[in-house]
Amino acid sequence: MATGPIPITASQLASLQNVLTDLSNLLPNVLENPTSSRVSQLITILNELRSLVLSIDFDANEQSALLSLLENQLPLQAARLT
């Protein structure tokens, strides 16, 4: 387990903030009315988040846990919305 801060660049941090803002804006709409367009947008945002996780120099265990969540759990939940 990492003991220090995550080594993230200013650009990566800005991208993370943008992706999380997009996700927080979209998620209530997807949950309220899960149209195919909204679910598609959700999947796009989750793929952007996955790419960002891969680009940040996380500890291997942290990166593995985040990727597992993004690749396994979240798409399953999105599938339940359609």
CA distances for 21 relative to 1, 35, 49, angstroms? 27, 20, 11
Q: How far apart are CA 43 and CA 26, in angstroms?
A: 11
pTM score: 0.79
User: Nearest to residue 67, comparing CAs of 39, 44, 46?
Assistant: 46
> What pLDDT does residue 6 have?
80
Q: How far apart are CA 42 and CA 6, in angstroms?
A: 26
Per residue of the chain (82 residues), give pLDDT as tens: 556 688 899 999 999 999 999 999 999 999 899 898 998 898 899 889 999 999 998 888 989 998 988 888 766 666 776 6
User: Which residue reads 């903030």 in tokens?
Assistant: 17
Domain residue ranges of the chain, discontinuous segments joined by +: 10-81
